Amino acid sequence: MATAIIIALLAITHSGIAHYTKFPEGFTFGVATASHQIEGAWNVSGKSENVWDRLTHSRPWMIADGTNGDIACDSYNKYQEDVDHLAYLGVDFYRFSLSWARILPTGRVDHVNPDGIRYYNALLDALAEKNIEPLVTLFHWDLPQSLQDLGGWANPKMIDYFRDYSDVCFREFGDRIKSWITINEPYEICEDAYGDDKKAPAIDSHGVGNYLCSDNLLKAHAEVYHLYNDTYRPQQNGRIMISINSIWYEPSDPEDAEQVALAEVANQFKFGWFAHPIFTEEGGYPAVMVENVAQQSQAEGLPKSRLEQFDDYWIERIKGTSDFLGINHYTTHLVTGPGVDPIAKSPSWLKDIGAVTTMNVGGDSASEWLRVVPTGFANLLRWCKSSYNDAPIYITENGFSDRGDLDDYGRIQYLNDYLSALLHVIYEDDVKVLGYTLWTLMDNFEWRAGFSERFGLYYVDITDPERLRTPKLSADYYKQLIAARELPEDDRFKNPAHIDRSEL
Ligand code: BGC
């Protein structure tokens, strides 16, 4: 480590804080996408309807610009071109997700769709040809509508359905896929889709559906981990993890002890909700969450808590079921004090936290929720190291939204500042981060924001039937970074109106 530090330490800033630019030996880089956001071909060759097809077709007004995933980036047809772009960037790995409804049109294993298998085999072969490792997510939000009709993640049968679907994927693709992610961002699924209407299927059962979902989802994740571990790992020798997202919470006044304590509660509710059961020795939901929801439920006159702790069997079964801690991180929000957040529904996850929060921090992006706060990234990683036994970490998503600028200095600055923060904690705090995944290869269907918020390294013209992809300046920035394994210093990446936010 000492030599690595000397090599990496290129400058000391005027405040005396070390500024690192060089990535450690063996660190890997990739980009990510998700099936529903890029594939299109929504009803082609046997694929069935998923919850996002249903939402966008039946309630188009819920999407900011009225777009949908029917064609999206047309990657179902243009996957070879996408792989060429990946090769141009020089990524070590490509994170993409499998469409459950394309592989199993009924959601169950009674019919495996040959075209679904063919499509992903073709993509995997194209990647292999360019020496790009696949990192594959089994579930990135596009649940078959047929399973939603049975209650989706609020139905305990989902544990079996997810396990059976994953079994097909391991069997069909596991000879070439050595890195799996079970579920992308359980928080967004349970809270945004079941506890709110921010994501499909927009059930909005606030304070109830979200906790039914987390019970089933964590059990389903654990069953898939055990299936892989017991049955497939011995032959396939791969690794499997979960990707948990954080909005990191900080106190608005770091000197205010009450705010500091509340920020910790908020982080336990957000990240700990799914990380604590898997990555701590104790297991189960965080104690503060169980207590808060029990108290609120009692005050609501309920005979039982809306969130019950797992029993001993499930605490043990869920514990330790991830080879790495996959972190998706974009932003930081602030906690300003105790109470009920003015936007909280009743009952709800947000009300259960008992803190008032604000997004009034950091720099802007095109997404209201995405505030640019690189120091928050560093603090989240330090917190994960101490809260989760120094678990080895992959950053499975990080990125910045704009309106589609080709000279995307905002994205370059974001990447530069967030990656500086990452290097800082790797070298100064010994946080074990092994790889970084940039969201995303190309502008794509950004869920309820449609194409109005763009996260891509490539601009995608959605008015063009060919869905022309054009590299933005950030594509060259990332390419140069990967080639040198070092943050580029090149002047052409410097915004004429540069503001230095790199200091921690
Ligand atoms: C999701 C992506 C999404 C990105 C930007 C993540 O929460 O995994 O699907 O596009 O953030 O919002």
Ligand 1 touching residue 160 (CB < 6 A): no
CA of 263 to the centre of ligand 1 (A): 23
Please report the pLDDT score of residue 9 as a whole number. 45
Buried b (16+ CB within 10 A) or exposed e, 412-428: bbbbbbbbbbbbbbbbe
Ligand 1 touching residue 208 (CB < 6 A): no
Of 145, 299, 306, the closest CA to residue 214 belongs to 306
Note the residue count of the chain.
504
Ligand 1 touching residue 328 (CB < 6 A): yes
Please report the pLDDT score of residue 11 as a whole number. 47
Ligand 1 touching residue 185 (CB < 6 A): yes
Whether 258 is catalytic is no
Name the residue with the closest Cα to ligand 1, atom 10: 446
Ligand 1 touching residue 439 (CB < 6 A): yes
CA of 304 to the centre of ligand 1 (A): 34
DSSP β-bridge partners for residue 333: 249
Compute how many other C-beta atoms are within 10 angstroms of the C-beta atom of residue 2.
6
Ligand 1 touching residue 416 (CB < 6 A): no
CA of 204 to the centre of ligand 1 (A): 20
Which atom of ligand 1 is closest in space to residue 370's alpha carbon? Answer: 12
Name the residue with the closest Cα to ligand 1, atom 5: 446
CB 339 within 8 A of CB 357: no
Residue pLDDT, tens place only, 308-333:
999 999 999 999 999 999 999 999 99
Euclidean distance between CA atoms 27 and 39, whole angstroms: 29
CB 372 within 8 A of CB 501: yes
CB 51 within 8 A of CB 36: no
Q: How far is CA 203 from CA 15, 189, 206, 369, in A?
A: 50, 11, 8, 21
CB 321 within 8 A of CB 310: no
Given the residues 39, 185, 397, 446, select the one marked as catalytic: 397
Which atom of ligand 1 is closest in space to residue 330's alpha carbon? Answer: 11
Which atom of ligand 1 is closest in space to residue 444's alpha carbon? Answer: 10
The tokens describing 90, both together, are 């020089």
Ligand 1 touching residue 48 (CB < 6 A): no
Q: What is the CATH number of domain 2-248+258-503?
A: 3.20.20.80
Compute how many other C-beta atoms are within 10 angstroms of the C-beta atom of residue 298.
12
In sign, the C-alpha dihedral spanning 352, 357, 362, 363 is positive
Residues of the chain with pLDDT under 50: 1-16, 504
Domains of the chain, by residue range, sit at 2-248+258-503
Could you tell me where the DSSP H helices lie in 189-348? 209-227, 233-236, 257-267, 273-279, 287-299, 312-318
Please report the pLDDT score of residue 167 as a whole number. 99
